[in-house]
């Protein structure tokens, strides 16, 4: 079995890198990567009956993991530089990606580094037992991201009569839809990025349940509008907040439960502006 953990761009590869290159980080252990975190629901026992009242949804606590690692350096200075690079991860203002690849099965979480415990180096070029504590606010682990895109729906060309050989079926049509199936075990969200749009706005509708997002705002040809069902945000170019222009914002209807398929119908309000295109990205989620 080959296990490779990558944290903020630093690879801990279970010793293979050390064997191959004569130096580098090796993964010794990681705690609770596959564990289910505790529920935050409060238990209210029935005073005069068996058991407790139904606590409702079991919202889960964040995930805390401890990574144990070793480093084999060319010399003591090489070891110190590697430790400094590792401890510098704690100064990042945003969450970073932590991925675990075990024989090609990749899971990832977004984490922050909370603590790095380094034993005394004693002037050596190698060290083991380095402990890195990370925290994932979202306890779910995610698989590979699936991305698919579409333009607006359009009619096909069809056959022109009289039919001659070879038969010309005309320009193929398009349904203007993107599709994602959650093969995981936990609810996941989708991110939809629209380039261009319509003279009066954008419409995104989930086919399975009718949930609809409507942005009632004139679009420019080079606009990039991001709809994120995870937090209900609508951003222009990843910065300007457009939620105030939403006349329908049923983001909860775009959550994809385990085994469900999310099919999004792409449309515009008014006339198309530029070459409107929808790109949807999502990943299966696991407890």
- CA angle 9–12–13, rounded 5-degree value: 125
| Whole-number Å distance between alpha carbons of 131 and 117 | 5
pLDDT digits (tens, 9 = 90+) for 90-128: 988 899 999 999 888 999 999 999 999 999 998 999 998
**Per-residue pLDDT at 171 exceeds 80:** no
**Per-residue pLDDT at 173 exceeds 80:** no
pLDDT digits (tens, 9 = 90+) for 120-158: 998 999 998 999 999 999 999 999 999 999 999 876 666
Model confidence at 15, pLDDT cuts 50, 70, 90, reads low
3-class DSSP state for residue 187?
coil
HEC states along 89-127? HHHCCCCEEEEEEECCEEEEEEEEEEEEECCCCCCCCEE
- Mean pLDDT across the chain: 90
**Per-residue pLDDT at 16 exceeds 60:** no
Neighbours of 197 (CB within 10 A): 28
3-class DSSP state for residue 275?
strand
pLDDT digits (tens, 9 = 90+) for 183-197: 999 999 999 999 999
Q: Which domains can be identified in the chain, with CATH numbers? A: 3-39+60-139 (2.40.30.200), 146-158+174-286 (2.60.120.860)
**Per-residue pLDDT at 23 exceeds 80:** no
- Give the phi and the psi of residue 222 in degrees, each rounded to 5: -100, 10
- For residue 102, give both structure tokens: 């075990």
Q: How far is CA 51 from the centre of its chain?
A: 38
Share of the chain above pLDDT 90, in %: 68
CB–CB of 5/30 below 8 Å? Answer: yes
Question: Which of 109, 114, 98, 101 has the alpha carbon at shortest distance from 137?
Answer: 109
At 273 the pLDDT is: 94
281 or 49, which is more confident:
281
At 262 the pLDDT is: 97
Model confidence at 22, pLDDT cuts 50, 70, 90, reads low
| Whole-number Å distance between alpha carbons of 247 and 224 | 19
Q: Average of pLDDT values for 65-88?
A: 93
| Whole-number Å distance between alpha carbons of 202 and 247 | 11
Q: Average of pLDDT values for 59-88?
A: 92
- Antiparallel, parallel or unpaired: β 246-249 and 126-136: unpaired
Q: DSSP assignment of 207-219, as one string?
A: TTT--EEEE-S--
- Give the phi and the psi of residue 76 in degrees, each rounded to 5: -65, -40
pLDDT digits (tens, 9 = 90+) for 234-281: 999 888 999 999 999 999 999 999 999 999 999 999 999 999 999 999
């Amino acid at each position: 079995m080959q296990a490779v953990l990558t944290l903020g761009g630093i690879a801990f590869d279970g010793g293979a890198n050390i064997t191959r290159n004569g130096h580098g980080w090796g993964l010794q252990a990681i705690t609770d990567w596959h564990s289910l975190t505790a529920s935050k629901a409060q238990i209210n026992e029935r005073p005069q009956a068996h058991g407790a009242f139904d606590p409702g949804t079991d919202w889960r606590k964040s995930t805390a993991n401890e990574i144990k690692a070793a480093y084999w350096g060319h010399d003591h200075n090489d070891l110190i530089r590697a430790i400094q690079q590792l401890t510098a991860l704690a100064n990042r203002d945003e969450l970073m990606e932590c991925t675990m690849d075990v024989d090609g099965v990749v899971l990832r979480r977004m984490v922050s580094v909370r603590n790095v415990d380094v034993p005394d180096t004693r002037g050596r070029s190698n060290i083991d037992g380095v402990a890195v504590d990370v925290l994932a606010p979202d306890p779910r682990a995610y698989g590979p991201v699936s991305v698919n895109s579409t333009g607006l729906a359009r009619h096909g060309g069809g056959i022109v009569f009289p039919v001659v050989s070879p038969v010309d079926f005309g320009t193929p049509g398009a349904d203007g839809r993107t599709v994602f199936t959650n093969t995981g075990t936990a609810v996941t969200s989708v991110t939809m990025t629209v380039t261009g749009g319509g003279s009066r706005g954008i419409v995104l509708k989930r086919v399975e349940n009718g949930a609809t997002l409507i942005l009632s705002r004139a679009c420019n040809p080079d606009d990039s509008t991001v709809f994120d069902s995870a937090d209900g945000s609508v951003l222009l170019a990843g910065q300007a907040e457009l939620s105030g222009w939403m006349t329908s914002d049923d983001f909860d209807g775009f959550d994809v439960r385990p085994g469900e398929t999310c099919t999004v119908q792409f449309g515009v309000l008014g006339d198309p502006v530029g070459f409107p295109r929808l790109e949807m990205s999502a990943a299966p989620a696991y407890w």
